[in-house]
């Protein structure tokens, strides 16, 4: 392919060469001629605010050489909108691109922008919306088979839930279930579950419905704890739930006691259970027992955090005073 300089289609453009900043700039890059030339044409078209078919091709070319170039992504989105392009076609190259560049995050903002624009042109009840959501969910599931903890993909998935009201969508909880069945320690999946169940606007609190939900989720986390009690994710999940419903931690004292007990200090199975037990003792004003549990963590079960456990014990004195 000839360069832009030899291409008659671009003959009207005077390229704008890069100013790296002085004779000895910091961390300048020895660009390839192709990249350098493409960027000079981009600067020139941006300076005159041109949005055209050739600009779309130019942005694609640059993104291909440098997918982390946020300016090019944003300019491309503007061009797509200005030219009223069929946005669904954007996914034809975007999807394989995302699967090739797993760590790239500009792509997820771009996707968000495109889906938002597509959706705002459709009636909320249109079956086309349902189709689009299903395609998105399928694509995200594919992404998660490659990297199940990708922060930007999970953030995008949360936006999708909120934007399209997927709070009661079975696929959302199933997708999380699937990932947790594969790896019960996937904290991103736990976070998403929490969001889907409790993050909705007006999530039920202290109603009968709320309590049914609370019990269902506690049971879910309990089952996860039983297969790996030292996994912190489900413990955090349960504590989050109780706090959401403003319930005392003593609700789950029997669960904590299953994995940690002061009577059997040599048989503790989970440091998270032992900390929870200490918090429950504190709630019950059994401060001596709480202190003993934290001592046990500091000295035996979790010594890297000994100062933190000692701090918690010290703070009991402040609470008593």
Partner 1 sequence: MVDRFWVRQESLSAPFTLPALYTSLPPLRDSLVTESSRLLDQTAAECMPYLTLTKFKTRDLNSHGLQKLRRARHIEFANDSLEELPGYMVVLDASRPWMGYWGIAALSMLRVDLVEEGYRERTVDTFRACQNESGGFGGGHGQYSHLACSYAAVLSLVAVGGEAAYETIDRRAMWRWLGRMKQPDGGFTVCEGAEEDVRGAFCAMVLCSLLNLPLELPPEEMDRVGGDGTLLSGLGEWISRCQTFEGGLSDAPNHEAHGAYAFCALGCLCILGPPHETIPRYLNVDNLLSWLSHRQAVPEGGFAGRTNKLVDGCYSHWDGGCWALVEAALASRGFGGSSSLDSLWDREGLLRYILCCAQNEWGGLRDKPSKNPDGYHTCYNLAGLSWAQNYHVWNAEKEDIDMTAPLSAPFSWSTTEKPDLPCDEEDRVAPMHPIYVIPHEKATEARNYFLNRVGF
> Contact 220/180 with Cβ under 8 angstroms?
no
Cβ–Cβ < 8 Å for 154, 192 = yes
- According to CB under 8 A, which residues from 117 to 146 bind partner 1? none
Give me the least distance between CB of 128 and partner 1, in Å please.
25
Q: How many angstroms separate the CA atoms of 241 and 198, rounded?
A: 8
State CA 11 to chain mean position distance. Answer: 45
Per the rule left: phi > 0, alpha: psi between -120 and 50, beta: everything else, 248 is beta
Catalytically annotated residue among 103, 146, 264, 313: 103
Q: Which helix (H) or strand (E) holds 213?
A: helix 208-227
- Give 128-176 as a DSSP string: HHHHHHHHHHHHHHHHHHH-TT-HHHHHHHHHHHHHTT-TT-HHHHHHH
Which residue's CB is nearer to partner 1, number 24 or number 123? 24
Hey, is 236 helix, strand or coil? helix
Nearer to partner 1, 18 or 131 (CB): 18
Enumerate residues 87-116 that contact partner 1 by CB under 8 A.
Answer: 109, 112-113
Q: How many residues bind partner 1 (CB under 8 A)?
A: 86
Q: Write down the residue that tokens 């490659």 correspond to.
A: 146
Is 103 noted as a catalytic residue in this protein? yes
Judge contact between 122 and 160, C-beta under 8 A.
no
Q: Is the Cβ of residue 133 or residue 273 nearer to partner 1 in the bound state?
A: 273
Write the CB contacts of 290 (distance below 8 Å, at least 6 apart in sequence).
278, 279, 281, 282, 313, 316
Interface residues for partner 1 in 158-187 (CB under 8 A)?
A: 158, 182-187
283 binds partner 1 (CB under 8 A): no
Least distance CB 199 / partner 1 (angstroms): 5
CB 10 within 8 A of CB 54: yes
**Cα(282)–Cα(289) distance, integer angstroms:** 8
Cβ-based nearer residue to partner 1, 71 or 247: 71
Residue pair 55/85 in contact by the 8 Å Cβ criterion: no
Query: Cβ 230 to partner 1, closest distance in Å?
Result: 5
In the range 194-213, which residues lie near partner 1 by CB under 8 A? Answer: 194-195, 198-199
The answer to whether 304 contacts partner 1 (rule: CB under 8 A) is: yes
State which of residues 80, 107, 114, 188 lies at the interface with partner 1 (CB under 8 A): 188
Residue 15 CB, shortest distance to partner 1, in Å, is 11
Cβ 218 to partner 1, closest distance in Å? 14
- Nearest approach, Cβ of residue 310 and partner 1 (Å): 6
Find the binding residues for partner 1 in span 8-67 (CB under 8 A): 16, 18-32, 35, 39, 42-43, 46-47, 65-67
Q: Which listed residue (4, 13, 191, 214) binds partner 1 by CB under 8 A? A: 191
**Binding residues among 65-84 for partner 1 as defined by CB under 8 A:** 65-71, 74, 77-78
CB-nearer residue toward partner 1: 230 or 257? 230
For 134, the token pair is 């299903």
Q: What is the distance between the alpha carbons of residues 203 and 316, in angstroms, rounded to a whole number? A: 34
Positions 214 through 273 that interact with partner 1 (CB under 8 A): 227-233, 236-237, 239-241, 243-244, 268-271
List, by residue number, the catalytic residues: 103
């Amino acid at each position: 392919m000839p360069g832009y300089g030899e291409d008659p289609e671009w003959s009207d453009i005077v390229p704008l060469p890069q100013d790296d900043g002085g004779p000895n700039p910091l961390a300048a890059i020895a660009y390839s001629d192709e990249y350098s030339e493409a960027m000079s044409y981009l600067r020139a078209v941006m300076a005159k605010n041109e949005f055209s078919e050739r600009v779309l091709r130019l942005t694609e070319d640059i993104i291909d050489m440098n997918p982390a170039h946020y300016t090019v992504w944003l300019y491309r989105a503007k061009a797509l909108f200005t030219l009223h392009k069929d946005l669904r076609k954007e996914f034809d190259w975007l999807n394989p691109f995302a699967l090739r560049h797993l760590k790239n995050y500009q792509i997820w903002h771009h996707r968000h922008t495109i889906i938002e624009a597509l959706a705002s042109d459709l009636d909320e009840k249109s079956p086309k919306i349902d189709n689009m959501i299903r395609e998105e969910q399928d694509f995200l599931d594919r992404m998660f088979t490659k990297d199940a903890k990708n922060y930007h993909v999970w953030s995008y998935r949360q936006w999708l839930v909120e934007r399209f009201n997927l709070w009661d969508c079975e696929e959302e909880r199933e997708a999380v279930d699937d990932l947790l069945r594969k790896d019960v320690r996937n904290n991103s999946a736990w976070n998403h579950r929490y969001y889907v169940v409790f993050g909705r606007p007006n999530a039920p609190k202290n109603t009968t419905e709320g309590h049914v939900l609370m019990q269902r989720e506690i049971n879910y986390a309990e089952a996860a704890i039983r297969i790996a009690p030292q996994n912190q994710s489900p413990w955090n999940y349960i504590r989050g739930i109780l706090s959401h419903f403003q319930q005392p931690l003593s609700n789950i004292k029997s669960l904590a006691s299953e994995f940690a007990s002061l009577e059997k200090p040599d048989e503790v199975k989970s440091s998270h259970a032992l900390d929870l037990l200490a918090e429950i003792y504190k709630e019950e004003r059994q401060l001596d027992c709480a202190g003993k549990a934290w001592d046990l963590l500091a000295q035996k079960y979790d010594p890297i955090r000994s100062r933190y456990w000692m701090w918690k014990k010290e703070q009991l004195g402040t609470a008593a005073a």
